[in-house]
Structure 1
């Protein structure tokens, strides 16, 4: 692997290229914080895909794309006399040191859970009024639910056993079924949301990331459905011309190949 000197040299190279692009490339010159925002979100999802696929080459590539965005934002910040890349690095370094008193101070911790609890307590001391302030409003709902529950757990607001959470899931399912029978759309939606929230909670107790689990299922369904489409095409039929029984044959065939 590269030495520290090589790493610093490569980072300096990136900073120099960013300066050159900002000075000479028409596209790069036009970019703002706002114009880059949606691109950064896309790059983050592409990194997430690469991680789920355990594609190390692609992970390296996507990390580079994200690093470029961080450097780009920092360059724009320096042009606005607000901050530069050194300020960004120092800000996170200071935060990490402050939030890890068990490493840089005399605080003792027994395990990872105590580290997370200390983290949340320190953030409240820093002036945050709620432990949930750190959950971005624009997060997708499923991810947001996971983060909300994790934050609440950090200050001790949590179930004690997985069995209790599973009982809650069953309770929410029963309430959903009641509203389905009554036919009130608004109440059905509310109860369905409660079911999802409780299932995400249960996943946390099983050490399952619900976002990853659902995305793997999405990928599995795509693989099987596209296999079904290919096999249908081989017979000269479209899916709309096939019976469910015919489609099930190819669907089960796909299950055995993935």
Structure 2
């Protein structure tokens, strides 16, 4: 089998890898759940390549991420759920439907993004998904199937926050949850009460920090982080991006400390905290001068 620019070749390769008799033993034994960690890892590697502005790595990482999509679709096809072609058709239909001002008739294009149009389309899609789930449940019941892949979720009766995926990274999850709650007015409108809440939560953490109650410590620290996310939202700052920026800065300064220690014939592990702090301040000073 030869490489190709045609996506169909990638689908063929994955089907061959999953063949029980002639495929790759590792690929054959994988399940939807077992490759979740790889999907998450590949997503972050795409982000890393973008942040490093490495076009070569980005091309490769995008291929790895695309493979994850093909992998899930292949397993779904084996179970008779859907195929890769169904995935492509679904997303193309959604993009066309959600952009009538681009792909619609002359009247729709002239209207551009009419007020309420986006929400109306999403409501229609929500209703159609609910109906599709009901049909799937009915079919599974008629066939006596186990129904593992017939969702029990009822969008008609779900709460406002139920639409936010619970598997999101914690900072992103808390931001999206807060944003949803804010749509019905459950939100602070000024930063002052958020700052006051942050001081309150910090005091509460300080109180439990003196104890050995790990559960209480975790709960209070969570309250601090949740409040920080709220503060970030109030200033329209992405908390994940802000934390990532600080982490990258720390990483750079720490590397500079290691280099400086090495030039002195020393290691960080063999230095006192005061000496390490002196190197930290030196690295920080060099960084500040380079930014001027």
Provide TM-score, normalisation by structure 1: 0.76
- Indicate conservation of the 8 Å contact 1:169/1:195, yes or no: no
Query: 1:12: Cα distance to partner?
Result: 2.2
Equivalent residue for 2:195?
169
Query: 1:69: Cα distance to partner?
Result: 1.0
Matched, 1:180 2:211: no
Alignment of 1:44-63 (within 5 A): 44-63=43-62
- Indicate conservation of the 8 Å contact 1:159/1:165, yes or no: no
Alignment of 1:135-174 (within 5 A): 135-153=164-182, 155-157=183-185, 159=187, 161=189, 164-174=190-200
1:181-224, Cα deviation, whole Å (9 max, x unpaired): 47565655444323322221222233322112212211221221
1:149-181, Cα deviation, whole Å (9 max, x unpaired): 23334x3435474xx134313333134315524
Alignment of 1:17-96 (within 5 A): 17-23=13-19, 24-26=22-24, 27-96=26-95
Whole-angstrom CA distance in 2 between matches of 1:94 and 1:83: 16
- Indicate conservation of the 8 Å contact 2:204/2:220, yes or no: no
1:106-160, Cα deviation, whole Å (9 max, x unpaired): 687568xx7776677567655521232232223232121012123334x343547
Q: How many residues align?
A: 246
Whole-angstrom CA distance in 2 between matches of 1:53 and 1:131: 37
- Indicate conservation of the 8 Å contact 2:229/2:239, yes or no: yes
Structure 1: gaps of 5 or more residues: 1-7
* Structure 1 residues 43 and 166: CA distance shift in structure 2, 3 A: farther
Query: 1:28: Cα distance to partner?
Result: 2.8
**Which structure has the bigger radius of gyration?**
2
Equivalent residue for 2:139?
none
Equivalent residue for 2:134?
none
Alignment of 1:197-208 (within 5 A): 197-208=226-237
- Indicate conservation of the 8 Å contact 1:152/1:158, yes or no: yes
Structure 2: gaps of 5 or more residues: 131-153
Matched, 1:133 2:162: yes
1 or 2 for the larger relative contact order (CA 8 Å, sep ≥6)? 1
